[in-house]
Amino acid sequence: MSADAAVTGADRDTARPPCYHCGESFAAANAVAHTEPVDCGGCPRCTGMPACYTCRNMYCPCEEHQF
Ligand SMILES: [Zn+2]
Ligand SMILES: [Zn+2]
Ligand SMILES: [Zn+2]
């Protein structure tokens, strides 16, 4: 099958190390979601974690870090 349309320079992203929190490699455009701390407050486990982090505290009160 032809995948010419799907190739959009993804090779450049492979040089970037995967995210420490979610394990995904990310493009520079998405770097904020993976590196910028989010002060969601209310939860000692995920406060200050980037947006991509998923809190495993089932009582986590913040919406930013839930699934
Ligand atoms: Zn991430
Ligand atoms: Zn949070
Ligand atoms: Zn939390």
Instruction: Report CA(45)–ligand 1 centroid distance (Å).
Output: 16
3-state class (DSSP) for residue 56: coil
Domain ranges of the chain: 39-67
The letter for the amino acid at 62 is: C
Indicate the pTM of the whole model.
0.71
> What is the pLDDT at residue 8?
53
> Distance from first CA to last CA of the chain, Å, rounded?
34
pLDDT-based confidence at residue 67 (cuts at 50, 70, 90): confident
Condensed to tens digits (0 to 9), the pLDDT of residues 5-57 reads 555 555 554 567 899 999 999 999 999 999 999 999 889 999 999 999 999 99
Mean pLDDT of the 55-66 span: 93
Query: Is 46:21 a contact under the CB 8 Å cutoff?
Result: no
Report the alpha-carbon distance of residue 12 to residue 58 in Å, rounded: 37
Instruction: Report CA(10)–ligand 2 centroid distance (Å).
Output: 30
The letter for the amino acid at 38 is: V
Instruction: Report CA(58)–ligand 3 centroid distance (Å).
Output: 8
